[in-house]
Amino acid sequence: MAFLPSWVYVLVGCFSASSVGASDLSDMEPTLWKESPGQFSDYRVENGKYLIDPWNYTKRMGMYKILLNQTARYFEKFAPENEQNILWGLPLQYGWQYRTGRLADPTGRTDCGSASGDPLCVSVDSWWADLNYFLSSLPFLAAVDSGIMGISSDQVMLLPPPKDQMRFCYDVSSCRSSFHETMNKWNAFYQYLQTPSSNFDDLLKYLWIAHTSTLEDTFKSFEDRCGYYSKPEERFERNWVVAVEYLAALSFPTTLIRSYKFQKGLPPRVLLKTDVVPFISDFTAFQNIVLFALNVLNKLDKLIG
């Protein structure tokens, strides 16, 4: 990514300028936010450890909710009601994945995530779910490790999926062992967050450094999952990873309102093999434009290296 094309700024500006259409901040919260756990005591305890099942939609969302609750006091100086908490982008993206069917089993071999089966199930075969696993577990466990969550590092354990257990880490110790540098980057974000002199722009830099490091560490490990999807969806997945790099370079502010607006341009369902961008009839004109722009961005990124 040698430079940022001017139209990338325009595209991000369009995201930010899109109409909100929500009457208050609570209307912008992720899907099933209120139904998700909001404190550690909402989870089962065994042998002195909180056990969290991240393969259940609301249980994983609860990790984000606790994280937002525990960090809220550090964002009070920027705006009321935790709206300027830049961690909002993570649960909102996860909620979009759930709402659009991207956390369901893409192979169709199980009813995991299907409306007629187990709608809250998060499939280990989902590319989106697997990458999000690390964009939930690593920030969450690093927060525990940093002391910001108010419990010790050995008090939380994430439960494994029904298969491919060796591809994941489940507690502070194992995640530190497997993703040492990335865990350090998340920890650096939380350490800076707790300093009285922390400012918004630098917080964004710390956040995006940790976010992109997480994707760099995990993206290639789950490329095999891409084969479960249609070619248009697979292309979108790869385009999305590239787009995140540009959002990071722009230090896009992942606050509640900005993240909510941003999602207006994302596809409202999984792309089918018959979908032709930018002529998908059940998508808005803006969603078609965004998908087309992401295609161009990826091609340009390959050209400029």
- 120-177 per-position pLDDT tens digit: 999 999 999 999 999 999 999 999 999 999 999 999 999 999 999 999 999 999 999 9
pLDDT at 24: 86
Average pLDDT over residues 79-103: 97
Q: Is the confidence at residue 19, as pLDDT, over 80? A: no
User: Are 180 and 174 a contacting pair, CB within 8 Å?
Assistant: no
Look at residue 2 in the predicted model and tell me its pLDDT: 47
Residue range(s) defining the domain that contains residue 110: 25-241
Could you read off the pLDDT of 196-231 as tens digits, one per residue? 999 999 999 999 999 999 999 999 999 999 999 999
What does the pLDDT read at residue 302?
87
Phi/psi at 186 (5° precision)? -65, -40
Asked if residue 103 is part of any domain, the answer here is: yes
Tokens of 140: 């969450």
- Domain for residue 252, yes or no? no
Q: Please state the domain count of the chain.
A: 1
Q: Residue 62's Cα: distance from chain center in Å?
A: 13
Q: Which residue has the higher pLDDT, 60 or 22?
A: 60
Whether 52 is covered by a domain: the verdict is yes
237 in Cβ contact with 294 (< 8 Å)? no
Q: Which of 6, 103, 96, 109 is nearest to 54 (CA)?
A: 103
Amino acid identity of 101? G
Q: What contacts 148, CB < 8 A, 6 or more positions away?
A: 70, 71, 190, 193, 194
Instruction: Tell me whether residue 127 is in a domain.
Output: yes
In a domain, 112, yes or no: yes
Structural domain contains residue 154: yes
Residue 261 lies in a domain: no
Residue 283 maps to a domain: no
Sign of the dihedral defined by the CA atoms of residues 71, 72, 73, 74, in that order: positive
